[in-house]
Structure 1
Amino acid sequence: MRHKLKVLLLIITAVFITVTSSLVNPIKASANTFDVDAEAAILVDEGTGKILFAKNADELLPIASMTKMMTEYLVLEAIDNGEISWDTTTEISDYAYQVSANISSSGIGLIQDKQYTVRQLYEAMAINSDNATTISLAELISGSESEFVRLMNQKAEEMGLPAYEFVNSTGLNNADLVGNHPDGTAADADTLLSAKSTAMLAYNLINDYPESLEFSSQLTSELDGVAYENWNWMLPWEDNNYTQFHVEGVDGLKTGYTSNAGNCFTGTAKRDERRLISVVMNTESRQERFQQTEKLLEYGFGQFESKELYPAGYQLEDKSILNVAKGKEDTVEIESSEAITEVVKSGDEEAYTVQYHIDENLLNDEGELIAPIEKGQTIGTMELVYNGDNTYEYIGENEQIKSVDLITTSAVEKLNWFMLTLGAIGDFFGGIYNTVVDTVTGWF
């Protein structure tokens, strides 16, 4: 009986410890089972391109008005190239006007036979996700939406997006375009991207054109005397029903909804010097897309931090001294040229090590550096190595292997010709001496 009570006490104690530790740090306790309620999702550290979380991130799915991020990019590129300016004006075509008047698609309502500036159209597109103003910008840049779609897919290829199919400038289903869907696309086609491609598009937009965030963070604007609001409820709203969805640091980026795509959102937030990019696709409701985005952002900011793992001047023990040939010094020390900083998950710091890679072209057959050697001369690289249990990928052209240069800490002059000659003579006679000794030893 006493043995059974002792076992029961041990079980109760173990359960108590497990439960209380989870209560003390519930995020850490569930870190390995983190998930979001969306068909696909991704979370990326913008500074490094490191993917911190991914769910079904490679599958092509409809992205609705998140498509407009590519239209924004191409408009800003055209401005940057001097093809148009913010003050360039254009009228509204019959096609854009028909879309504007269609109650089923979001829109402010445009006036024909009126000149609108690029700034007016861009604001309505970026802030209110207006479809007609988006089409008008596409037609201004390319002459037709069909030609603009060709540019969209061309730019996607240039960006290296892994999975994409742009069929119009807005993200509407082609069936909603009043019979004017772009040439070469199906009458009921959707623009399709993967969550990873969507994050890469956002990454390129805010890195190449950071002014895009000035528009995406704007709460309201107006056109033709009609006030309109930003669909992003995570911005710092005051005194309305959206306040409950605000998350610190959010300043963009693009919402989306169609019956095929469901509720989608590409979000971005910056805290201190770190910026994260998130994508959720096909959530159950408008509210849910922001709630799941909040979950992603808090996970990224709470569970990961940017850390200097190895400082500049770091020397790997027992490997930071190299032999030198033909120099006034026999050895030279080496060190890292700069610090290695990485976005690290909490508790994963010890999983990172470094290794040296010396440039073999600088070594002789004996593995020695050859004098003369300059101070600060690059002789190889120091590479960061991750030995943990997680698997991390990176978006775009960001380096998955982090490395810095290895440099010499001092100069080594080359021996003059006289000393080199003496050394050569010594090597010659030393070789003869060794040969004689070996031969005589062999006799006996």
Structure 2
Amino acid sequence: MPTTFCAPASPSAVRAVRTVAALASSVLLVSPLFAGSAQAAPVDGGQPPKAPVPPAKMSQVGGERLGQAGVQVQPRGGAPALPDAKELTARSWIVSDADSGEVLAAKNPHWQLAPASTLKMLFADTVLPKFPKTQTYKVKPTDLAGMGAGSSLVGIKENLTYTVHDLWLGVFLRSGNDAVHTLSAMNGGTDATVKEMQKRAVELNATDTHVITPDGYDAPGQVSSAYDLSLFARAGLKNADFREYCSTASAQFPGDTGKDGKRATFGIQNTNRLLSGDYDIKPYPGIAGVKNGSTTNAGSTFTGVAQHGGRKLLVTVMNPEKRQHNEAYREAAKLFDWGFAADGKVAPVGRLVEAKGAEKESDKDAKNGDPQAQAALDSGGLGGPWAVAGIGGGAVALLGGLAWLVRRRRPAPADGGGGRRRRK
């Protein structure tokens, strides 16, 4: 039977109860090293509960095979084997060509799961085009109300002024819920933003997605899928500002104003470990974004884009069963390796669909002689410059960000969030 979801609670009602629930469960916080990967509690007899299984029927958006449970791949002669189940433990994953949208392989790509901060890609798809990056905004105390307990923060403070550029760096680098709530306030409030995000999901044909919070914080009924997250990433990467923010490895963020009247800054580093690296994992060659996440319900989630030569791949991984540090990144890297090695050696098992009306309009403009539309059509809408700008921006920022210190309104784990009812 398909998974059934009750009518979701209103965003305002969710915010009213989730802080109490989070505080009540705070005694169950896990170590920051394994943030967002709380262990299953034993049941009677000391045995852990059985792992959930995907629904027997799932959406078939993008192709019939994408609605089937289990791994879907169609190898041709000489195709490399996918990593085995011990290496790929994620409940759901998908590898697709960022230009053409062809799905090279997938496992339960339409399984509706908690998305964590990868939902911020949809937030950016919805809100980012509305405000010029040079616009400034003075934060009101009410703007930061309603954030979930343990939220990841970039360190925004009330009554200080930030540019839109600053706020988006806070969203993408530190997965700052304070930055999301500030931008939502600029956009007419959290409830209005959630409605717009759901509308945008419908426009993108992301039928697995139900939005309750703009920042991805755990909430009853809030779900997405590896397929939908890939749609959000692909749509966002068509925007130059989105590409800049998601590919930046480190930056300086505005702090307090000193007695001399000068505004201090502090360093922030991207929590996407395939971009910025970590003590136990190196940046992935050719990586250019996109977004990571971690909460109790979601486990670890990640969508990334990378380029080798002329090949650009999108990989999304949701909730690895193996609870090792940086496991979602490790499994994503394995899928990137396989996808690049499988170039031309597998037949697609489905496709990332275009936004409603997008394919028709681009075809129309191209036929009318618009050279930019024709170039976008020829390259799948993500041609050359996006990767160059993305990879270059991340690499330059990484070189400049070897030493960094993040000030927060409250302490947060070293990887930017996660843990019991925490999110990043």
The two structures have a TM-score, normalised by structure 2, of 0.58
Equivalent position to 1:215, from 221, 225, 245: 245
Equivalent position to 2:81, from 14, 30, 41: 30
User: What one-letter code is carried by the residue in structure 2 that aligns with 1:62?
Assistant: A
Equivalent position to 1:241, from 252, 274, 279: 279
Aligned ranges for residues 37-56 of structure 1 at < 5 Å? 37-56=89-108
Higher strand share: 1
Equivalent position to 1:117, from 141, 163, 173: 163
Q: Distance in 2 between matches of 1:110 and 1:397?
A: 36
Corresponding residue number in structure 2 for 1:299:
338
Corresponding residue number in structure 2 for 1:327:
none
Aligned ranges for residues 192-203 of structure 1 at < 5 Å? 192-203=223-234
Work out whether 1:395 is the aligned partner of 2:352. Answer: yes
Q: Is the 8 A contact 2:287 2:305 kept in 1?
A: yes
Q: What SS class does the counterpart of residue 237 from structure 2 fall into? A: helix
Q: Distance in 1 between matches of 2:225 and 2:329?
A: 19
TM-superposed CA distance for 1:286, in Å, is 4.5
TM-superposed CA distance for 1:88, in Å, is 1.6
Q: Distance in 2 between matches of 1:46 and 1:136?
A: 31
TM-superposed CA distance for 1:42, in Å, is 0.5
Corresponding residue number in structure 2 for 1:163:
208
Q: Is the 8 A contact 1:262 1:282 kept in 2?
A: yes
TM-superposed CA distance for 1:48, in Å, is 1.0
Equivalent position to 2:291, from 240, 254, 257: 254
Q: Is the 8 A contact 1:42 1:280 kept in 2?
A: yes
Q: Which runs of 5+ in 1 are unaligned?
A: 1-26, 79-83, 175-188, 305-343, 349-389, 400-444
Corresponding residue number in structure 1 for 2:6:
none
Aligned ranges for residues 304-323 of structure 1 at < 5 Å? 304=343
Aligned ranges for residues 42-441 of structure 1 at < 5 Å? 42-78=94-130, 84-98=131-145, 104-141=150-187, 143-174=188-219, 189=220, 191-207=222-238, 209-221=239-251, 222-224=253-255, 225-235=265-275, 237=277, 241=279, 244-283=281-320, 284-304=323-343, 344-345=344-345, 392-397=349-354
Q: What SS class does the counterpart of residue 279 from structure 1 fall into? A: strand
Q: What SS class does the counterpart of residue 212 from structure 2 fall into? A: coil
CA offsets, 1:183-211, max 9 Å, x none? xxxxxx2531111111111111102x133
Q: Is the 8 A contact 1:72 1:126 kept in 2?
A: no
Q: Distance in 2 between matches of 1:112 and 1:29?
A: 53
Q: What SS class does the counterpart of residue 351 from structure 2 fall into? A: coil
Identity %: 24
CA offsets, 1:63-111, max 9 Å, x none? 0000111121223321xxxxx32122223233443467x7711113222
> Given the superposition, is the C-alpha separation of residues 391 and 220 from structure 1 closer, same or farther in structure 2, using an over 3 Å criterion?
closer
Q: Alignment RMSD, CA only?
A: 2.4
Q: Is the 8 A contact 2:94 2:106 kept in 1?
A: yes
Q: Distance in 1 between matches of 2:218 and 2:82?
A: 38
Q: Is the 8 A contact 1:71 1:138 kept in 2?
A: no
User: What one-letter code is carried by the residue in structure 1 that aligns with 2:272?
Assistant: N
User: What one-letter code is carried by the residue in structure 2 that aligns with 1:192?
Assistant: V
The two structures have a TM-score, normalised by structure 1, of 0.56
Q: Distance in 1 between matches of 2:325 and 2:165?
A: 28
Q: What SS class does the counterpart of residue 58 from structure 1 fall into? A: coil
Q: What SS class does the counterpart of residue 274 from structure 2 fall into? A: coil
Corresponding residue number in structure 2 for 1:353:
none
Tell me: higher relative CO, structure 1 or 2? Use CA pairs within 8 A at least 6 residues apart.
2
